[in-house]
Amino acid sequence: MTQKVAVLGTGKIGEALLSGMIRAGWAPADLLVTTRRAERAEELRTRYGVDPVGNAEAAKQADTLILACKPQDMGALLDELAPHVAPDRLVISAAAGITTAFIEERLAENTPVIRVMPNTPVLVDEGMSVISAGTHASREHLTHAEDIFGAVGKTLRVPETQQDACTALSGSGPAYFYYLVEAMTDAGILLGLPRDKAHDLIVQAAIGAAVMLRDSGEHPVKLRENVTSPAGTTINAIRELENHGVRAALIAALEAARDRSRQLASGNG
Ligand SMILES: NC(=O)C1=CN([C@@H]2O[C@H](COP(=O)(O)OP(=O)(O)OC[C@H]3O[C@@H](n4cnc5c(N)ncnc54)[C@H](OP(=O)(O)O)[C@@H]3O)[C@@H](O)[C@H]2O)C=CC1
Ligand SMILES: O=C(O)[C@@H]1CCC=N1
């Protein structure tokens, strides 16, 4: 039997995932989406050729339900879904903070639930999706989740107790890099470069650095040392980063993101 997958709450991350699944070869006919607004449903139908349905219908038709609404909307979505989700369905949540226990206690007994924290680079097949099994999810369910999310990037299994930390690192992670690029482009403007050139230089430096981090096998300290010539330019920049507490700011920022993920566990915002 064909496995059908439904994305419930198809906003930014839901659409990113949907587009990746189609690129990876899923037939649009085997994919269902749900949305709150009718115009959004039509947008998705036009863009991807998928069938927008109601949440109850998605629960009936799909074998795997990916819940991709905001944590604050999860309670209401689960209340609506509960009467329609048979316990042989796999329920995957991509919501920050929401625990598998939160979902399990709102659905039929023994429903398998998996918690995943993806990130937006799934749009370019470079996602990082961190996966944890709930009480009733089997090895096969985990493999199935890895098949879906592995098609659009890397996956990593972690104990659920580490999910809030992973959300702070890789879930939110791309935003920190965009923020750095934005700030460094501003610096380029200050130094007299046109914005488009400053942007291109910083983006290519980021891509080069990312590929070296991934492929060189070197520790980031070594890679940074290789750039930092004695009495040169880089060390002057590093001294300013240290003077302004950038390392401490990053540690505090990720701790704040982790704490917010924990707060969202209540589903109340
Ligand atoms: N953005 C990211 O980088 C990441 C987000 N996440 C998680 O993904 C989830 C979604 O985030 P994001 O995509 O940014 O948010 P969006 O607001 O873009 O997407 C959420 C979507 O869910 C829809 N929705 C809400 N309630 C219902 C419902 N009852 N039935 C059908 N659709 C519903 C919303 O509709 P409407 O637009 O009409 O309100 C909206 O389109 C969050 O839980 C977040 O923690 C996880 C990893 C990364
Ligand atoms: O900001 C958020 O809450 C979501 C979760 C991880 C990335 N975006």
Q: What is the mean pLDDT of the chain?
A: 97
Element (H, E) at 55: helix 55-61
Q: Any idea which ligand is nearest the CA of 7?
A: 1
Confidence at residue 162, expressed as pLDDT on a 0 to 100 scale: 98
Q: 200-242: per-residue pLDDT in tens?
A: 999 999 999 999 999 999 999 999 999 999 999 999 999 999 9
Residues in contact with ligand 1 by the CB-under-6-Å rule are 8-9, 11-14, 34-37, 40, 55, 68-71, 73, 76-77, 94-96, 117-120, 171
Residues 210, 214: Cα–Cα separation, whole Å: 6
Residues 145, 11: Cα–Cα separation, whole Å: 20
For residue 15, report the distance from its CA to the centre of ligand 2, in Å. 15
> Does 70 belong to an annotated binding site?
yes
Contact 100, 113 (CB under 8 A): yes
Residues 99-115 have a mean pLDDT of: 97
Coil/strand/helix, residue 58 = helix
pLDDT above 80: residue 184: yes
Confidence at residue 269, expressed as pLDDT on a 0 to 100 scale: 75
Residue 166 burial (C-beta neighbours within 10 Å; 0-12, 13-18, 19+): buried
pLDDT above 70: residue 1: no
Domains of the chain with CATH codes: 5-163 (3.40.50.720), 173-264 (1.10.3730.10)
Residues 11-33 have a mean pLDDT of: 95
Residues in contact with ligand 2 by the CB-under-6-Å rule are 96, 167, 171-172
Residues 143, 161: Cα–Cα separation, whole Å: 20
Distance between terminal CA atoms of the chain?
39
Residues 8-29 have a mean pLDDT of: 95
Please report which confidence band the pLDDT of residue 267 belongs to, taking 50, 70 and 90 as the band edges: confident
> Does 71 belong to an annotated binding site?
yes
Confidence at residue 44, expressed as pLDDT on a 0 to 100 scale: 98
pLDDT above 50: residue 49: yes
For residue 239, report the distance from its CA to the centre of ligand 1, in Å. 41
Residues 85, 28: Cα–Cα separation, whole Å: 22
Phi, psi dihedrals of residue 49, rounded to the nearest 5°: 70, 25
Give the residue whose CA is nearest to atom 18 of ligand 1.
11
Confidence at residue 2, expressed as pLDDT on a 0 to 100 scale: 63
Supply the angle between the helices 233-243 and 246-264 in degrees, to the nearest 10.
50
For residue 109, report the distance from its CA to the centre of ligand 1, in Å. 26
Coil/strand/helix, residue 132 = strand
> Does 69 belong to an annotated binding site?
yes
Q: 123-170: per-residue pLDDT in tens?
A: 999 999 999 999 999 999 999 999 999 999 999 999 999 999 999 999
SS (H, E, C) 139-190: HHHHHHHHHHHHCCEEEEECCHHHHHHHHHHHHCHHHHHHHHHHHHHHHHHH
DSSP string, 60-76: HH-SEEEE-S-HHHHHH
For residue 1, report the distance from its CA to the centre of ligand 2, in Å. 35
Structure token digits, residue 156: 């990593």
Residues 144, 185: Cα–Cα separation, whole Å: 41
Coil/strand/helix, residue 196 = helix
